[in-house]
Amino acid sequence: MNRFRLLPSPLDTPTGTRASRGLGIVVLLGLVMLTLLGLFFTDEDVVQGSTVRLMYIHVPTAWVAYLAFIVTAITSAMYMWGKQHSLTFDRIAGASAEVGVIFMGLCLVTGSLWGRITWGTYWQWDPRLTTTAFLFVTYVGYLAVRDLGGSHQQRAKRSAVVALLAVLEIPLVHFSVVLWRSLHQEASVLQPNGDVTMDGLMLFSLLFGVAVFTSLFAWMVLHRQRVLMLADAIDDGGLEAALQERRNEAN
């Protein structure tokens, strides 16, 4: 494998423990507040009853999954067409995809729970559910491609190609309820005509959940890309340099 030096990067510096701990505290407080809002302070829906409380998890997880996969595509493009072909972009792409797969899995689970209560079954081969599951499998495949071996540069190139193709599925998933007859309800907030069918504390709780989960995504990617950086250093025989880098961050 090609050897490289652990040079400081502008994208590596924000992973200092003080910044990450501060963000982690904000995320933790936000999750506690979202739990209180979702379970106790918001009212039941006139149609769905208490089932609507799943929305405060389901919608933010879907949003974060979309965001994560878009970030993966953007950073993959930055690696491919950047002058220096920085592996930092590749590591951020990989970290973002890993987090996106986690959140997409949560989206599918919460959606299945909602479907069991609303439709009487955990799964239907509905256009939205099917395309979402296909998107999930696609990015599991992307992660598998990253582990095929070879040099870091070879990993980055092949992964970038897959990421730039896979991100094209997102519009198909999002607009599936409009393109085909779907059991899945249409968007309550981001409707094509601009209408918002929610108001009051329910809308605030939903948007607050999106903000909290987005912050959680940033915190997870922040840490995961640092782990990937250290793993690359160890893989290239730079164990001592990696350990010193970690000790420096702890100070």
For residues 162-190, give the mean pLDDT.
76
* Least confident window among 3-17, 61-75, 187-201: 3-17
Q: What was the pLDDT predicted at 14?
A: 42
- How far apart (Å, rounded) are the C-alpha atoms in residues 103 and 97? 10
- DSSP bridge pairs for 45: 49
Which are the contacts of 239, defined by CB distance < 8 A and separation ≥ 6? 233
Q: Are 60 and 209 within 8 A, CB to CB?
A: yes
Q: Which of 173, 179, 175, 180 is nearest to 191 (CA)?
A: 175
Q: Which of 86, 92, 102, 61 is nearest to 223 (CA)?
A: 92
Dihedral angle sign, alpha carbons of residues 146, 152, 154, 159:
positive
Q: What was the pLDDT predicted at 3?
A: 41
- How far apart (Å, rounded) are the C-alpha atoms in residues 36 and 34? 5
Tokens of 225: 């890309």
* Cα 91-97-98 angle, rounded to 5 deg: 90
Q: What pTM was computed for the model? A: 0.81
Domain 13-238, CATH among 1.20.120, 1.10.3470, 1.10.287, 2.160.20: 1.20.120
End-to-end CA distance of the chain: 31
Label residues 210-229 b or e (16+ Cβ within 10 Å = b). bebbbbbbbbbbbebbbebb
Amino acid at position 57, single letter: I
Distances in Å between the Cα of 74 and the Cα atoms of 22, 39, 89 are 26, 36, 9
Q: Are 203 and 189 within 8 A, CB to CB?
A: yes
Mean per-residue pLDDT over the chain, rounded? 83
For residues 117-126, give the mean pLDDT.
83
For residues 125-143, give the mean pLDDT.
92
Could you tell me what percent of the chain has a pLDDT over 70? Answer: 78
pLDDT band at 15 (very low <50, low <70, confident <90, very high): very low
Size of the chain in residues: 251
